[in-house]
């Protein structure tokens, strides 16, 4: 028995090593070593071994990146080494003052240091995220914590493990007893934008900027939600035992910040590659100005640069104050903001009934784009601003992305102007608005509110759902306004004569639209599921649900009898599960499901549409570029996914095939450079 267990133990160790190395290559080095399908096989093998032998589970196992049970709360944790903040400079003159001051401090240290007259500097971008502390013991990640007050933070180790760019085991053969790593967790701009689009569709309040979104994510009690939001991490400093020296000749104990960054990279961390050593303030100033212009092209938010003395010995001489090191300073970029005149305030009603105040103002240029409107989120924000009609307001782009009203210039306020207040009744249907307990959102709860119906219909006909060509916002507005359509099901009861009564409809266009509407009944199960508009169920979550539950009946039964089977889906948690259960339990939604089934929707997986070769492209990754002759991009994507493949929007060495059509763009060139196999539309059909 011992011999058999030892065999399992050795295999588990080998699998952990292979999978951790694959994760590092993929997420940190951006150079995949193995195919997705092989990774999945190895991962499944490890999971099965650990299920059968729980004693094989270790802290560095890839299976531990997502916890199974939501936390009840976070414990306080003392930082072994204080996590200090940085002093700020707001222009180059203040940076110069700091530099002259530390040169005097170095001189007063009475140490014979070679470069004490003009110490070298290292410049790094100041990532607009959340500082976290990591502790590794004997090379294994044991603790992850928030900054807190610098001395005490919150233990968020379970959530930290979900960030793929944080190694669970260091790439060191002879690790010291402990290493403390400091760095910045952040949410990439692309992920932030997608998250806000999803929240808007679900009628949730939008996150103000990537930093706040990241902070909120790190404090989620359910680590599966954290994992689904795809946070990233840059390491920027480390602390090692004084008496430790690496035995591996490939490693050298760092004696400067620049060497520390290289060391961090070599032991498995992702390090921001924009850092540069500088000889003097002139070079530092050039770095600051360069990134002030270029920062908007980055994939993450930055609000300045950090300037540090590079040499650790000089850092030690300079020491720290109670709150910040003397040897480093953050030089912040001024947030671009402009004054403009409020023209009017409108109140938008979303498909969930949430009422959002939106300020419309005279157009201004901010961060390279023209801006003329900004959401004020909710009644609380409106009250804090004390906004009056005709006010002069100050607008900036929060996190360089979302327009935000930051203040009101009351000195320019018109005498006797009226205070802007959230309406007591819905601006669309005049129903009494309600504010849900423990929520900042004010809602219209009238199920027949035209704005809610329009929002639901727009979601149903959208690209990710039914993708009904020719049925846009203007036509939906007409259909609802004249009373032809009061629900999703009513779309499928439309007659030719009704459409001909609308503006810009002839017999041909009306028949085309009716055909498109009827054809949409054949859409895949996950698209039907997404179109229903359940809270938190975007396209990705709809696909996950459709894979786990083959019909709406199965999902309804599970929601009543075994809701844990929903929350156990990867990326799901209590909040998502509760939203789905509440939606399914609503009588209006139950009636909608009945109506859709009565008019021909299956609301289940269509087994007939699956061919015998449905998994022929299993594990293969595709990218589409250019115009295809007989297929739309969505049709091609659907065919590939039905055959087990996946479709990505960006190309890398991980891509198996680039499907190239007419007027192919830069992706074709990149595929040629990376050696990715390029096929045309006919060759794709042959593969299928």
Task: Let me know whether 123 and 104 are in one domain.
Answer: yes
* Burial class of residue 451, CB neighbours in 10 A (0-12, 13-18, 19+): buried
* pLDDT higher than threshold 90 for residue 139: yes
Task: Let me know whether 550 and 677 are in one domain.
Answer: no
Q: What is the pLDDT of residue 27?
A: 59
* pLDDT higher than threshold 70 for residue 591: yes
Question: Higher-confidence residue: 208 or 262?
Answer: 262
Instruction: Name the domain boundary from 608, 631, 666.
Output: 608
Q: Which region among 41-55, 381-395, 441-455 has the lowest average model confidence (pLDDT)?
A: 41-55
Beta-bridged to residue 374, according to DSSP, are 359
Residue 360 falls within a domain, yes or no?
Answer: yes
Distance (Å, whole) CA 399 – CA 397: 6
Task: Read off the CATH number of the domain in which 372 is found.
Answer: 2.40.50.140
Q: pLDDT band for position 241 (50/70/90)?
A: very high
Distance (Å, whole) CA 307 – CA 309: 7
Q: What is the pLDDT of residue 580?
A: 93
Q: What is the maximum span of the chain, computed from C-alpha positions, in angstroms?
A: 94
Residue 134 falls within a domain, yes or no?
Answer: yes
Task: Let me know whether 490 and 617 are in one domain.
Answer: no
* pLDDT higher than threshold 50 for residue 279: yes
Q: pLDDT band for position 112 (50/70/90)?
A: low
Task: Read off the CATH number of the domain in which 656 is found.
Answer: 3.40.50.10190
Question: Higher-confidence residue: 366 or 357?
Answer: 357
Q: At 472, is the secondary structure helix, strand, or coil?
A: coil
* pLDDT higher than threshold 90 for residue 426: yes
Task: Let me know whether 160 and 255 are in one domain.
Answer: yes
Question: Higher-confidence residue: 611 or 598?
Answer: 598
Distance (Å, whole) CA 572 – CA 551: 19
Residue 73 falls within a domain, yes or no?
Answer: no
Mean pLDDT, rounded, of the chain: 86
Task: Let me know whether 618 and 587 are in one domain.
Answer: no
Q: What is the pLDDT of residue 6?
A: 78
pLDDT tens digit sequence for 3-43: 777 778 888 888 888 887 877 776 566 566 676 567 767 77
pLDDT tens digit sequence for 613-624: 456 787 788 899
Q: Which region among 179-188, 371-380, 421-430, 524-533 has the lowest average model confidence (pLDDT)?
A: 371-380
Instruction: Name the domain boundary from 385, 407, 435.
Output: 435
Residues in contact with 201: Cβ distance below 8 Å, sequence separation at least 6, in sequence order: 351, 459, 533, 538
Q: What is the pLDDT of residue 607?
A: 61
Residue 83 falls within a domain, yes or no?
Answer: no
Residue 70 falls within a domain, yes or no?
Answer: no
Length of the chain: 688
Task: Let me know whether 174 and 262 are in one domain.
Answer: yes
* pLDDT higher than threshold 50 for residue 611: no
| Residues of the chain by 3-state class (helix, strand, coil), percent to 5 | 40, 20, 40
Q: What predicted TM-score, i.e. pTM, was given to this entire model?
A: 0.54
Residue 440 falls within a domain, yes or no?
Answer: no
Q: What is the pLDDT of residue 73?
A: 66
Task: Read off the CATH number of the domain in which 123 is found.
Answer: 3.30.470.30
Q: pLDDT band for position 113 (50/70/90)?
A: low
Q: pLDDT band for position 278 (50/70/90)?
A: very high
Q: Which region among 26-40, 248-262, 641-655 has the lowest average model confidence (pLDDT)?
A: 26-40
Q: How much is the average pLDDT of 613-638?
A: 80
Q: Cα-flanking dihedrals φ and ψ of residue 457, to 5°? A: -65, -45
Q: pLDDT band for position 132 (50/70/90)?
A: very high
Distance (Å, whole) CA 296 – CA 600: 49
Distance (Å, whole) CA 310 – CA 317: 13
Contact predicate 150/84, CB 8 Å: yes
Task: Let me know whether 594 and 647 are in one domain.
Answer: no
Question: Higher-confidence residue: 252 or 608?
Answer: 252
> 442-444 and 433-435 as β-strands: parallel, antiparallel, unpaired?
antiparallel
Task: Let me know whether 183 and 314 are in one domain.
Answer: yes
Q: pLDDT band for position 159 (50/70/90)?
A: very high
What whole-number percentage of the chain has pLDDT above 90? 43
Q: Cα-flanking dihedrals φ and ψ of residue 399, to 5°? A: 60, 25
Q: Which region among 145-154, 289-298, 489-498 has the lowest average model confidence (pLDDT)?
A: 145-154
In Å, how far are 239, 417, 532, 593 from 588, measured between CA atoms? 59, 43, 12, 9
The residue with tokens 């802290």 is: 59
Beta-sheet strands, E only, within 63-148: 76-78, 88-89, 121-127, 130-137, 140-146
pLDDT tens digit sequence for 471-484: 989 999 999 999 99
Q: What is the pLDDT of residue 30?
A: 55
Residue 48 falls within a domain, yes or no?
Answer: yes
- What angle (nearest 5°) sits at the alpha carbon of residue 334, between those of residues 292 and 412? 140
Q: How much is the average pLDDT of 442-454?
A: 91
Q: What is the pLDDT of residue 28?
A: 63
Residue 441 falls within a domain, yes or no?
Answer: no
Task: Let me know whether 144 and 170 are in one domain.
Answer: yes
Task: Let me know whether 241 and 185 are in one domain.
Answer: yes
Among the listed residues 388, 336, 383, 391, the one whose alpha carbon sits nearest the alpha carbon of residue 364? 336
Range picked from 10-14, 327-331, 392-396, 414-418 for highest mean pLDDT: 327-331
Q: Which structural domain range is residue 426 located in? A: 337-435
Task: Let me know whether 282 and 154 are in one domain.
Answer: yes
Q: How much is the average pLDDT of 553-567?
A: 92
Residues in contact with 328: Cβ distance below 8 Å, sequence separation at least 6, in sequence order: 86, 87, 306, 307, 308, 309
Task: Let me know whether 315 and 423 are in one domain.
Answer: no
By annotation, the residues acting in catalysis are 126
* pLDDT higher than threshold 70 for residue 510: yes
Sign of CA dihedral 529, 542, 544, 144: negative
Q: How far is CA 648 from the centre of its chain?
A: 16
Contact predicate 661/626, CB 8 Å: yes
Token digits for 539?
């396209």
Question: Higher-confidence residue: 42 or 399?
Answer: 42
Distance (Å, whole) CA 461 – CA 494: 15
Q: What is the pLDDT of residue 612?
A: 47
Residues in contact with 72: Cβ distance below 8 Å, sequence separation at least 6, in sequence order: 221
Domain count, the chain: 6
Instruction: Name the domain boundary from 608, 629, 657.
Output: 608
Q: Which region among 68-77, 102-111, 249-258 has the lowest average model confidence (pLDDT)?
A: 68-77
């Amino acid at each position: 028995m011992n011999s058999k267990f030892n065999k399992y133990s050795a295999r588990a160790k080998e699998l952990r090593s292979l999978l951790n190395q694959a994760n590092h290559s993929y997420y940190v080095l951006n150079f995949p070593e193995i195919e997705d399908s092989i990774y999945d096989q190895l991962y499944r093998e490890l999971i099965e071994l650990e299920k059968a032998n729980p004693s094989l589970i270790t802290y560095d196992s890839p299976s531990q990146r997502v916890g199974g049970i939501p936390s009840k709360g976070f414990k306080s944790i003392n930082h072994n080494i204080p996590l200090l903040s940085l002093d700020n400079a707001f222009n180059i003159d203040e940076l110069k003052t700091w530099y002259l001051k530390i040169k005097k401090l170095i001189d007063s240290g009475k140490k014979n240091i070679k470069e004490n007259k003009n110490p070298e500097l290292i410049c790094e971008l100041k990532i607009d995220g959340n500082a976290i502390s990591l502790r590794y013991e004997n090379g294994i990640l044991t603790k992850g914590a928030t900054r807190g007050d610098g001395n005490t933070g919150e233990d968020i180790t379970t959530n930290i493990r979900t960030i793929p760019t944080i190694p669970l085991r260091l790439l060191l053969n002879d690790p010291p007893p402990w290493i403390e790593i400091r760095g910045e967790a952040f949410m990439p701009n692309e992920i932030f934008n997608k998250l806000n689009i999803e929240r808007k569709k679900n009628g949730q309040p939008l996150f103000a900027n990537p930093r706040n979104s990241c902070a909120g994510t790190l404090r989620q009690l359910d680590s599966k939600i954290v994992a689904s939001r795809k946070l990233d991490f840059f390491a920027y400093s480390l602390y090692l035992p004084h008496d430790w020296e690496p035995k591996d000749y490939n490693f050298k104990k760092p004696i400067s910040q620049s060497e520390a960054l290289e060391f961090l990279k070599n032991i498995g961390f992702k390090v921001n590659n924009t850092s540069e050593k500088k000889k003097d303030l002139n070079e530092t100033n050039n770095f600051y100005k360069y990134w002030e212009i270029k920062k908007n092209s980055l994939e993450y938010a930055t609000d300045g640069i950090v300037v540090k003395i590079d040499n650790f010995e000089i850092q030690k001489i300079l020491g720290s104050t109670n709150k910040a090191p003397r040897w480093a300073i953050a030089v912040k970029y001024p947030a671009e903001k402009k004054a403009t005149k409020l023209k009017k305030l409108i109140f938008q009603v979303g498909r969930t009934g949430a009422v959002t105040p939106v300020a419309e103002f005279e157009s201004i240029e901010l961060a390279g784009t023209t801006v003329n409107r900004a959401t004020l989120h909710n009644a609380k924000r409106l009250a804090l601003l004390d906004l009056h009609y005709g006010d002069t307001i100050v607008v900036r782009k929060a996190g360089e992305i979302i327009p935000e009203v930051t203040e009101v210039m009351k000195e320019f306020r018109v005498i006797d102007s009226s205070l802007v207040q959230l309406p007591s009744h819905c601006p669309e249907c005049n129903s009494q608005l309600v504010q849900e307990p423990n929520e900042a959102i004010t809602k219209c709860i009238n199920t027949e509110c035209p704005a809610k119906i329009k929002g639901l219909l727009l979601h149903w006909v959208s690209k990710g759902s039914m993708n009904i060509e020719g049925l846009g916002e203007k036509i939906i507005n007409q259909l609802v306004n004249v009373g032809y359509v009061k629900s999703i099901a009513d779309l499928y009861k439309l007659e030719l004569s009704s459409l001909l009564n609308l503006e810009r409809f002839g017999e041909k266009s009306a028949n085309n639209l009716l055909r498109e509407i009827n054809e949409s009944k054949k859409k895949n199960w996950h698209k039907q599921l997404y179109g229903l508009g359940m809270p938190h169920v975007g396209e990705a979550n709809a696909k996950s649900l459709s894979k786990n539950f083959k019909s709406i009946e199965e999902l309804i039964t599970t929601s009543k009898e075994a809701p844990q089977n929903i929350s156990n889906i990867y990326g799901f948690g209590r909040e998502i599960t509760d939203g789905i259960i509440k939606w399914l339990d609503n009588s209006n939604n139950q009636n909608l499901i009945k109506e859709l089934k009565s008019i021909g929707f299956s609301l289940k997986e269509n087994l007939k549409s699956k061919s015998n070769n449905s998994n022929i492209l299993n594990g293969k990754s595709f990218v589409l570029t250019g115009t295809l002759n007989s297929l739309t991009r969505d049709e091609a994507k659907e065919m590939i996914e039905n055959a087990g493949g996946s479709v990505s929007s960006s190309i890398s060495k991980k891509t198996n095939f680039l499907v190239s059509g007419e007027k192919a763009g830069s992706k074709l060139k990149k595929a040629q450079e990376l050696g990715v196999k390029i096929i045309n539309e006919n060759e794709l059909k042959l593969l299928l």
